[in-house]
Amino acid sequence: MHIDILSAVPRLLDSWFSESILQRAQQKGLAEVKIHDLRNWSTDKHRRLDDYPFGGGAGMVMTIEPIHRAITELKGQRVVDEVIYMSPDGILLEQGLANTLSIKNNMIILCGHYKGVDERVRTHLITREISIGNYVLSGGELAAAVLSDAVIRLLPGVLGDETSALSDSFQDGLVAPPDYTRPAEYQGWKVPDVLLSGHQAKIDEWRHDQALERTKERRPGLLG
């Protein structure tokens, strides 16, 4: 999988992709993430990316020209499956959407900044608009990192255990059950006996029951 991320402040993303699972995925050749400075496509002598909105109002708007130039150049390098804009009013990122995007080969992710982007970008250049929650961030960089993380970890070979992602919260419509590890008892706090029984069928049944109960308590909307 190849992901190009377009940003007005690309250095914000450096550490996210240079550590842990995302770093290993790239080192293994399973994913490639390129972070691009949108200012490289600006024709303004000061490399500006924003301008005042027509009609007045507070805030600045990212201009269409550098974004169009960047997307056009990147699409000329490979067949792009999705051009995604991270936006508060986009479709909410959920596990099913992450699963869908994980089978794509090449994606471009555009990070908004300032007040947002010229609407013509969204109308003519973007294939999906995605939000990570009903709130506003200073820019789309964190959202782009969250989306990339959610997708890349699903690629075969990225996680040490191939089945690990399949037992994550939301994969089966439920939140994950509680997990325990050694020691089996700590300060009188004990691991449930069933997990120490070695009886896999009973363990699976217990985990399902716990996931269902936890979902009812914490995320009942998932059961609707």
Domain ranges for the chain? 2-152, 169-223
**In CATH, what is the architecture of 2-152?**
3-Layer(aba) Sandwich (3.40)
- Check residue 193 and give its pLDDT: 97
Residues 41-50: what's their mean pLDDT? 94
Contact 117, 49 (CB under 8 A): no
Is residue 124 predicted with pLDDT exceeding 80?
Answer: yes
130 or 161, higher pLDDT: 130
161 or 112, higher pLDDT: 112
Rounded to 10°, the helix 141-152/20-27 angle is: 60
Fold held by 169-223: Trp Operon Repressor; Chain A (1.10.1270)
- Check residue 168 and give its pLDDT: 61
- Check residue 171 and give its pLDDT: 74
Residues 87-94: what's their mean pLDDT? 96
Cα separation of 214 and 194, whole Å? Answer: 18
Is residue 167 predicted with pLDDT exceeding 70?
Answer: no
Mean pLDDT score across all residues of the chain: 94
Contact 208, 176 (CB under 8 A): no
- Other residues' Cβ atoms within 10 Å of the Cβ of residue 110: 27
Is residue 161 predicted with pLDDT exceeding 80?
Answer: no
21-25, 38-42, 59-63, 164-168: range with lowest mean pLDDT:
164-168
Structure tokens at 182: 């050694």
- Check residue 114 and give its pLDDT: 86
Is residue 185 predicted with pLDDT exceeding 60?
Answer: yes
Q: How confident is the model at residue 172 (pLDDT cuts 50, 70, 90)?
A: confident
Residues 130-141: what's their mean pLDDT? 95
